[in-house]
Structure 1
Amino acid sequence: MLKILLRCLSVVKFIPIVKCFLETQGTSAPIKITSYLKHKALPKKVPYWPVDSTSRVTSVNNILIGIGTAPGLSPGCYIQGIGKVKIGDYTIIAPNVGIISGNHDINDYRKHNPSSVKIGKYCWIGMNSVILPGVTLGDHTVVAAGSVVTKSFTDGYQVIAGNPAKPIKKIKKDKCQQYKNKNEYIGYYELSKFEKFRSKYLNE
């Protein structure tokens, strides 16, 4: 009888894992069961969202992501949380993107000067782009591939490109789709359950 009870309990524990796996497939932030389990084992050290094995995320506790986004899920990304990083809902990040929230001190390279990076909702950060410390990007900002963003573009609704990045095109607000996933998750957590995790583990 005890063995049967223990088996039932293990199945019950496994249900949330299967649920989040099934409910995020087909989105831009699909959850893998193996990475979910790794996070649960090391909640302070491992990203609370799916990340590719070739990407690196540092200081996870300083990084706040939005619904349906997963920085570093594409290969080769570097997301640095020395300072604060905030990324809005439904923002997509291409391969080999760097998001840097702290720079070396020019007088002593052993030290970092933390800053912050804020990226709005529904942004698209193109391949091989770099977002530098202190940058804020407004909603619906598209960063063209290979760009280096050295200053803020808070108005959003524009395409920026180049090194340093500059506006090259406006995006019409009435044409932008404010889509939502059927099941809304922030990383491995249903939206309604995320605040409990955030208050316990994140500095944001």
Structure 2
Amino acid sequence: MISKLIKKFFFKDLSKRMLETSYSQTPVKFKMWFYQRVLGFNKEAYWPMHFTSIVTGVKNIYAGIDTSPGYMPGCYIQGIGKIYIGDYSQISSNVGIITANHNIYDTRKHEVKSVIIGKYCWVGMNSMILPGVELGDFTIVGAGSVVTKSFSEGYCIIAGNPAKVIKKIDKEKCKPFKNNYEYHGYLNTHEFNEYKDKYLNV
């Protein structure tokens, strides 16, 4: 059903979506669309994903405007619990976003916690975001970091294993921006609101 709704929205005007997102951080590209919609890689995702990335639990994932987790290669986006990623946040290659760990006494069971990533964040290559983490707006996660706790205040650079604040960011210098055409992945804002209400658990 989800795949049918997505096809309804963008089979008819793929070229329009490609054009309107061409200057965004995560543009709709024909090759990526072909791998998802025709070959079936990550076909349930409503946003563009690289064929080497993996997503589970799409219904539990909110991807904000111009935010496509798994757009870069090698990512693992685990939506057993809820994932919320704010507008204009970017996820680099080989990033893991994990919402559940195995119970240490019974590995058949999961301990589930949500992950929240704010707006205008940047998660560097080979980083891991673990269950229960909340990152505030304008948080930069250094490459190779393992984020085990929340930094909900945002406006900081965190790095290391476990990640810690290595620099505060001057809030006054941060530049929020908006695209001329606002898309949640393949869906414009109007289409996404309809899709979210019907199919997402976020």
Stretch of structure 1 that moved more, 104-113 or 166-175: 104-113
Structure-2 separation of matches of 1:48 and 1:198: 10
CA distance in 1, matches of 2:133, 2:116: 6
Q: CA deviation at 1:77?
A: 0.5
Aligned to 2:27: 30
Per the alignment, residue 106 of structure 1 pairs with 104
Q: Within 5 Å, which residues of 2 pair with 1:3-14?
A: none
| SS of match in other structure, 2:77 | strand
Q: Which runs of 5+ in 1 are unaligned?
A: 1-12
Question: Kindly tell me: are residues 110 and 90 of structure 1, through their superposed partners in 2, closer, same or farther at Cα, counting changes over 3 Å?
Answer: same
Deviation per residue, 1:114-140 (Å, 9 max, x gap): 110000000000011000000000000
Q: How many residues align?
A: 191
1:3 maps to which residue? Answer: none
Match of residue 202 from structure 1? 200
User: Taking structure 1 as reference, are residues 197 and 41 closer, same or farther at Cα in structure 2, changes over 3 Å only?
Assistant: farther
1:169 corresponds to which residue?
A: 167
TM-score (norm 1): 0.88
Give the Cα separation in 2 of the matches to 1:47 and 1:32: 15
Does the alignment pair 1:17 with 2:14?
yes
Q: Is contact 1:29-1:69 (8 Å) kept?
A: yes
> Does the alignment pair 1:93 with 2:101?
no
Matches within 5 A, 1:1-204: 15-33=12-30, 35-36=32-33, 38=36, 46-204=44-202
Asked if 2 retains the 8 angstrom alpha-carbon contact of 1:85 and 1:101, the reply is yes
RMSD: 2.0
- Report the Cα offset of residue 32 of structure 1: 2.7
CA distance in 2, matches of 1:191, 1:84: 20
- Structure with greater Cα Rg: 1
**Correspondence for 2:5:** none
State the TM-score, normalized to the length of structure 2: 0.89
Identity of aligned pairs, percent? 57
Contact 1:39-1:47 within 8 A present in 2 as well:
no
Flag as ranges the 4+ runs of structure 1 deviating above 3 A.
Answer: 33-42
Measured after TM superposition, the shift of residue 25 of structure 1 is: 1.2
Output the CA distance in 2 between the equivalents of 1:108 and 1:35.
Answer: 39
Check conservation: 1:39, 1:48, Cα contact below 8 A: no
Amino acid aligned to 2:20: E
Offset of residue 108 of structure 1:
1.0
- Per the TM alignment, residue 47 of structure 1 is displaced from its structure 2 partner at its CA by 0.6
Instruction: Report the CA distance between 1:33 and its aligned residue.
Output: 3.9
Unaligned ranges ≥5, structure 2: 1-9
Stretch of structure 1 that moved more, 146-155 or 18-27: 18-27
> Against the structure 1 CA distance between its residues 19 and 123, is the aligned structure 2 distance closer, same or farther, given a 3 Å change threshold?
same
